[in-house]
Structure 1
Amino acid sequence: MAIVGYARVSSTGQSLDVQLDKLKYYQCDKIYQEKKSGITANRPELKKCLDYVREGDVLIITKLDRLARSTVDLHNILQQLNDKGVGFRVIDQSIDTTTSTGKLLFGILASIAEFETELRKERQMEGIKKAKNNGVAFGRKAKLTDIQIEELRYKRSNGVLIKDLMANYGLSKASVYRLLSIT
């Protein structure tokens, strides 16, 4: 029987230290870790972890939202673990799915985690909409001023090669063509 840990943070700027400390405290034999969004299905370390665990092993995580962000995904992972005869524990929420109470708690907390994610998305979209209404510009700052764009067009109309325009203005070929096509 092996105790296997899984730790995840959403972005490269975040630290795994707190999760790793907790998993080490629970004496995990092996710990998989990654810095990937829980929303994406492309989590190679989670896949390796789920492939690694065997009957009688226990998978431990610190919080439910570290494993996945949707209830469907959480239930699918739990079903995969159940099919393999692998126990599942969540440290911070005191969940142990080898018990009926643990299974109930898992379902409730999985639904709450998904609800919180949806609320966060709604607040983010409201904030973006408000910022746009207040004139905040999103996206990368333009590399060229309007005067430089007119100059670029003038040079091109006088036969300057695209590659030379790219070099002179520090732009990609696609950017030069895009700026030439804008009326």
Structure 2
Amino acid sequence: MRVGYARVSTAGQKLDLQRERLADCDRVFHEKVSGKSTRNRPELQNALDFVRDGDIFVVTKLDRLTRSVVDLANIVQKFEAKNVDLVVLDQGIDTTSIYGRLQFNILAAIGEFERGIIRERSYEGRMRALARGFKFGAKPKLARNEISQLINDYEAPGCSKTEIADHYGISRSSVCRIYSENCQHMS
């Protein structure tokens, strides 16, 4: 069975051209939703669940299926587990033949290579930033003098953790964490 999948990003766009190109499919799933991720795409999930052993999954362009190498790898794993082939009409990818599988694997390898380069560059950038003293994460909500005052308030009799949290505009658990972290450093 040939199972088609068509997608456009916005409600204003039309699926007509993709539907025409997928006319020879036995069943076509379609939706109007962003392709940034495969999450929150119910018709894609339905199509992936629907395909069975020996089926051919057809899309007009690879970006209609996914724009993420990670998502593509996950989809391909599902196809391999179900013995489903992939045909991408505009890119000429057809995994029903050995040449199509080769082409697809080369494209997937290039995508994985690009992802690795991006990851490596990101890591190097983070390391350079750390070496320059940059601190990642959320900015501290309290200044050093406020932390000292919070510790005094915490240790003062009659002052509840909830009152301290309200006074500094933080959660009760943050009060306990800040106290714990800073009293350990003082010891």
TM-score (norm 1): 0.71
Alignment of 1:132-147 (within 5 A): 132-147=130-145
CA positional deviation for 1:112:
1.4
CA positional deviation for 1:47:
3.9
**Identity level (%):** 29
1:16-74: per-residue Cα shift (whole Å, max 9, x none)?
A: 45xx9697532153235566757xxx787454331123565533252486364289645
Partner of 2:116: 118
CA positional deviation for 1:175:
0.8
CA positional deviation for 1:107:
1.3
Structure with larger RCO (C-alpha < 8 A, sep 6+): 1
CA positional deviation for 1:91:
4.9
- RMSD of Structure 2 on Structure 1 (CA): 3.4
Secondary structure of the equivalent of 2:147? helix
Partner of 2:4: 3
The alpha-carbon distance between structure 1 residues 2 and 69, as it changes in their structure 2 partners (threshold 3 A), is: closer
Partner of 2:78: 77
Instruction: Confirm or deny that 1:26 pairs with 2:24.
Output: no
1:85-118: per-residue Cα shift (whole Å, max 9, x none)?
A: x542235633122333211101111111111111
Partner of 1:11: none
Partner of 1:13: none
Aligned length: 167
Alignment of 1:17-166 (within 5 A): 25-27=17-19, 29-31=28-30, 45=42, 46-53=44-51, 56=55, 58-60=57-59, 61-63=61-63, 66=67, 68-69=69-70, 73=74, 75-81=76-82, 83=83, 86-91=84-89, 93-159=91-157, 160-166=159-165
Q: Which 5+ residue runs of structure 1 have no aligned equivalent?
A: 8-15
Contact residue 4 and residue 53 of structure 1 kept, 8 A: no
In structure 2, C-alpha distance between the alignment counterparts of 1:124 and 1:3, rounded to whole Å: 37
Q: Which 5+ residue runs of structure 2 have no aligned equivalent?
A: 23-27
Instruction: Confirm or deny that 1:176 pairs with 2:175.
Output: yes
Secondary structure of the equivalent of 1:26? helix
The alpha-carbon distance between structure 1 residues 35 and 178, as it changes in their structure 2 partners (threshold 3 A), is: farther
In structure 2, C-alpha distance between the alignment counterparts of 1:67 and 1:128, rounded to whole Å: 23
The alpha-carbon distance between structure 1 residues 4 and 97, as it changes in their structure 2 partners (threshold 3 A), is: same
CA positional deviation for 1:157:
1.6
TM-score (norm 2): 0.70
